[in-house]
Amino acid sequence: MNKPELGIADRQREFFYSRSVRNVEFRLEQLHVLKRIIIDHEARILEALNKDLQKPEAEAYTSEIAPVLHEIDLALKHLRSWSKPERVRTPRILYPGSSAIYREPYGSVLIIAPWNYPFQLAMIPLVGAMAAGNCAVLKPSEISSFTSRAMAEMIGASFDPSYVTVIEGGVDLTHQLLSQHFDCIFFTGSSRIGKIVMEAAAKYLTPVVLELGGKNPCIVDKDVDVEKTARRIVWGKYFNAGQTCLAPDYLLVHKAVKEKLIDAIRLTIERFYGNEPFQSPDYARIINQQHFVRLSALLKEGEIVVGGATDSTARYIAPTVIEKVSWNNNIMSEEIFGPLLPVLDYEDITEVIELLQRKSKPLALYFFSRNKQYQKRILSELSSGGVSINDTMAHIQNVCLPFGGVGESGMGEYHGKASFDVLSHKKAVLKRSFFADPQMKYPPYRTPLKYLKKVLKFLY
């Protein structure tokens, strides 16, 4: 495994100040290079994702490669306009003068990526860092080792390590990197590790972007299209075998449609993956034995009504639906991050809202209902990183929408222009002329307060 060279953050900072990293044309050129190597290495990336997670080719391309290429194309198209100073209003008190917001890069950005979408969740932050004019150190997860190696070789062959580099290794290496003085840290992972990252960043008051997880509720009202609701829930829950930070973590279903919905979910699973999902080429596997054991233990809680089959050797857990769970069970107190779907029922939407208001703010919230008033209440009375109404994981597919968490599910948003913004410092700039310089501003102060208040109200 590669070891981080001592002072990589400092070396990148030197490169940042001595080279043309901040030049827009340089950024565009490097984004073209990144796009080319991704296209050239597509087969290698898909193979690595299959080895790590047994991701189906179509699922791997649509969730890992296509979104990254789309982000690069968006940056290539709009980077010049994003980089221009943004003119803002100047109050009369500062006349003659002009005001603008300049977006400048931080310097060297440390990107710590997870294993569940090991390519996408490393590359999209990298696109944002490069577009904003930063240097970057990318630390992939050692758990998804094949994808990590592929990225290290791709990036290493195409970029100066003082500009962009991939450093591979385990937990000790991550701690070593966190001890260095980076100018910004972008972390995707669990809330527990996010707190460690934030604590390390505090030593240098380094700004952080934390993309974390949480228990994403999926609320189903009685006024829904049951078949479409089941299809959209099954897709969102069992995509990547449930190893998605945005996956519906549990269902809160109105009693009037609960049994119909469970039956529809059972039929949908069969349509998607067949009677034996183990044989399906379209169903992924659990990342490693540790997570397989953790998820298998959760199967012992509640009553399994769909699925439940496991195979330790293949790290396989079937798409599973579980009833008769309580909020005291482990499956309802920790993020599942796997293909297990607990189902609880309710009768009154107000009770659901009051219940969720007492829980940690999730990364995503899903609500299925035709009732516009209920939709309005969910949006206004519950806080979450993002919301999809009558679908799951839909809002993340629109790069015009910022993606991020709130509270324990994270801080800072990215995707599209939001990636450029979150990895840029907004520098306030005011330019004034030497013409006119009212004495009222300076001591000794002689203007009566009554008159001063009127003047200031006019000038501001």
Selecting among 64, 211, 335, 408, the annotated active-site residue is 211
Tokens 């495994």, residue located: 1
β-strand pairing of 310-311 with 316-317:
antiparallel
Neighbouring-strand partners of residue 220: 253, 368
Token pair belonging to 453: 């208040």
Cα–Cα distance list, 49 to 53, 72, 144, 197, 371 (Å): 6, 21, 8, 26, 41
- Give the span between the Cα atoms of 412 and 385, in whole angstroms: 10
Q: Reply yes or no on whether 276 is catalytic.
A: no
Rounded distance between C-alpha atoms, residue 405 and residue 188, angstroms: 11
Q: How far apart are the first and last CA of the chain?
A: 59
Q: Which among 184, 245, 335, 408 is annotated as catalytic?
A: 245
| Whether residue 47 lies in the annotated active site | no
Q: What is the distance between the alpha carbons of residues 287 and 322, in angstroms, rounded to a whole number?
A: 22
The answer to whether 132 touches 30, Cβ cutoff 8 Å, is no
**Ramachandran region, residue 240 (left: φ > 0; alpha: ψ -120 to 50; beta: rest):** left
Token look-up 């991020």 returns: 404
* 8 A C-beta contact, residue 273 and residue 311: no
Query: CA–CA separation, 114 vs 187, rounded Å?
Result: 8
Active site residues: 211, 245
